[in-house]
A and B are shown apart, each in its own frame.
Chain A
Amino acid sequence: GAVVSQHPSRVICKSGTSVKIECRSLDFQATTMFWYRQFPKKSLMLMATSNEGSKATYEQGVEKDKFLINHASLTLSTLTVTSAHPEDSSFYICSARGGAQDEAFFGQGTRLTVV
C-alpha cells in the first residue's frame, strides 16, 4: 500500500517554543492531507484539512493561529504548533488518500510533549 511518513516520531519542547511536524507521501501525490490529534485512550479527532497550494481548512474549535499548516508541494504538508503549552501535548497524526481504492493512509504519528 501507499506510504505516508511522519517526522519526528516524538519531540519534547519547552513551553513557548514552536514545533514543526512533517508529513510526506512517499510514493504518491496527495493534493489533500489531513491532520488529526489523539489524546490518551481516545479516538482520533480531525483538526484540519491541508490543501496543496491553498489555505488549510480547520475544524470547529481548532485555532488556526496555533496550528499552522503549510502544504507547499504534492508530497509534503507541515503542521507547526506555535507557542506550545503543556495542554498541546498530544499524539498528532497525518493522513493522505491514495492507492487503488482511494483509501486513507496514516503516518506513524508524532508524540509531542510540552514541558
Chain B
Amino acid sequence: LAKTTQPISMDSYEGQEVNITCSHNNIATNDYITWYQQFPSQGPRFIIQGYKTKVTNEVASLFIPADRKSSTLSLPRVSLSDTAVYYCLAAGGGADGLTFGKGTHLIIQP
C-alpha cells in the first residue's frame, strides 16, 4: 500500500472548480488510485477510481500523469454540500484492507 500525501485542508466557494492533489511517490504497478468522500458520522463514499490518464464520471474527474506519482481529483462547480473530508488511496485490489491517510478537509463557502 503506497503512502499518500494530501493537503490537510482547502477552502473554496460555491460554483468554483476544486482540484485536490495527492502524491503517491511509491505507488506500485498494480495499485489503483481511489478517492473517497466522507461526511461527519457517515462511512466513506466512493467517488472515483483510476489507473492512469483521465477518468471522468458524473461527479468528478481524476487526472493521473504518466509517472502515476500523483493524482488530482477535480470537482466541477462545487456546492455547500461538497464540504467533506476527501481521502486519496493508492492500493491494489483483492483481500487487503485500505490504509487511510489524513485526508483533505474541503470547506465550501457561499
**A residues adjacent to B (C-beta < 8 A):** 1, 4, 6, 32, 34, 36, 43-46, 49, 59, 91, 93-95, 97, 101-109, 111
Q: Which residues of B contact A6 (CB under 8 A)?
A: 43
Instruction: Say yes or no: A106-B97 contact (C-beta < 8 A), given A43-B102, A43-B103, A101-B49.
Output: no
Main secondary structure of the interface of A (DSSP, over half): strand
A-B contact count (CB 8 A): 55
Would you call B42 and A44 a contact (CB within 8 A)? no
In the assembled complex, the Cα of A46 lies from the Cα of B98 at a distance in Å of: 7
> A92's closest neighbor in chain B, by CB?
B43
Main secondary structure of the interface of B (DSSP, over half): loop
- Pick the residue among A1, A49, A108 that contacts B97 (CB under 8 A): A49
> B51's closest neighbor in chain A, by CB?
A101
In the assembled complex, the Cα of A107 lies from the Cα of B49 at a distance in Å of: 19
In the assembled complex, the Cα of A107 lies from the Cα of B41 at a distance in Å of: 11
Known: A94-B43, A111-B41. 19 other contacts (CB 8 A): A4-B43, A43-B87, A43-B102, A44-B98, A44-B100, A46-B97, A46-B99, A49-B96, A49-B97, A97-B93, A97-B94, A102-B93, A103-B49, A104-B34, A104-B46, A106-B45, A108-B42, A109-B41, A109-B43
